[in-house]
Every structure is written in C-alpha cells, then in structure tokens.
Amino acid sequence: MAFAKQPVGEDVQQRLREVAAELRGLLYGEAGCPEWGTKFREIEADGMSVGLELARLVMEQSVGEQAKQTPETALQVAGDRVVPAGAQATPLQTEAGVVQWDQPRGYLKKGRKAFFPTAAGFGPEGR
C-alpha cells in the first residue's frame, strides 16, 4: 500500500534539512555531492534508500518504545487474569523493510491461552 506524503512540522522539516546535509557528506564524501555526470536516477536511488531506512528506523524505534510503555490497562481482560509472560520478537514487513520489536506477552489464567495486547482498541486511547 503506497502512502501519500504528509506534511511535517517546521521544526521536524528544519532538522531533516540538517540531517540531509550531514548524510550527503556520508554518502558522497567531502564534496557533499555525487561526481559530476552522475545520472539523476542514481541520486534518486541513494535518496530513496536513505529515506526508506530512516522511515523504517522511525517506525521500529516508535513501536519498540511504545511496547516498553505498555499501560496496565492493556493487560486487563474482563473475567480473567493476565499473567505477564515476557516479550516476543515481532517482525512486520513494511514498504520500508522489516520492522521488529519486542511485543509484551501475557497468559490468560482461565482461558489458558497466550495473549498479545495489540488488537484494535489497545490502550486507553484505542490505538
């Protein structure tokens, strides 16, 4: 599923400009640009590779941190008791590549089954 580009805040846009300038130096060396005569499609491939890896890292770090901050209410099930059962590595294929994080797990005492709190309605805000 292709995603439409959404606007980002001015503070994020400014930081992206700074990061882009730094990354150009890493990609192309001291000159900060590709050698004269480099085809645009090659420059585009470099830019898209960097952009997709940035997107993948933002997603991976975001879900990783979110999982670490799982609220107690996410592990509550009416009529049963959830016993924490560690975490499980969860990979997800995205357009930017595989995103992986440690998803919290629980075990339902009465239902005697594994429980992963990621269904719709997860958390107090329903995310």
Reported as a single tens digit per residue, the pLDDT across 101-110 is 999 888 887 7
Q: Note whether residue 1 is domain-resident.
A: no
For the chain, how many structural domains are there in total?
1
Domain encompassing residue 85: 39-115
Query: Rounded distance, CA 105 to CA 75, Å?
Result: 9
Query: Has residue 79 been placed in a domain?
Result: yes
3-class state of residue 68 by DSSP: helix
Tell me whether residue 125 is in a domain.
Answer: no
Nearest residue to 54 via CA among 102, 8, 87: 8
Could you tell me if residue 3 is inside a domain?
no
Distance CA 123, CA 112 (A): 22
User: Is 108 part of a structural domain of the chain?
Assistant: yes
What is the helix (H) or strand (E) element at residue 107, kind and residue range?
strand 97-108
Domain membership flag for residue 22: no
Per the domain annotation, does 5 fall within a domain?
A: no
Q: pLDDT digit string (tens) for 41-94?
A: 999 999 999 999 999 999 999 999 999 998 888 878 888 888 888 899 999 999
Closest CA to 101 of 69, 68, 75: 68
pTM for this predicted structure: 0.76
